[in-house]
Amino acid sequence: MTEPVTGRWEVPGTDLEVTTTLEHGDLTIVLGKAGARVCRLIVEQAAIPIEHAWLSDMFMHDYRIRLSDLTSDLEDYVASLDLSQG
């Protein structure tokens, strides 16, 4: 069994950090902001070979994540907490 391969990059001039880990053939990419994880993408079977890879960009998945949606969800959740219960 091979050890996980991990990389970490801080984006200069921001509070952003990207961490990648390849473990058991799965690639995990985590975006951190101000020390908190805000997004995680896991590509299963990332290390397997792809036949006809030259065509893969036609089928590439493209995701857009709005950080403002996460912020809104967090605010709603915190507002729903009954802090008087301790």
Q: What is the DSSP string of 6-64?
A: EEEEE-TTSSEEEEEEEETTEEEEEEEETTEEEEEEEETTTTS--TTGGGGGGS-----
Instruction: Let me know: does 8 contact 21? Beta carbons within 8 Å.
Output: no
Q: Which tokens sit at 21?
A: 């880990």
- pTM, to two decimals: 0.80
Q: For each of the chain's 86 residues, which pLDDT tens digit applies? A: 578 999 999 999 999 999 999 999 999 999 999 999 999 999 999 999 989 988 988 998 898 989 888 889 989 998 898 777 65
CA separation for the pair 73, 23 (Å, rounded) = 30
- Number of separate domains in the chain: 1
Domain encompassing residue 14: 5-85
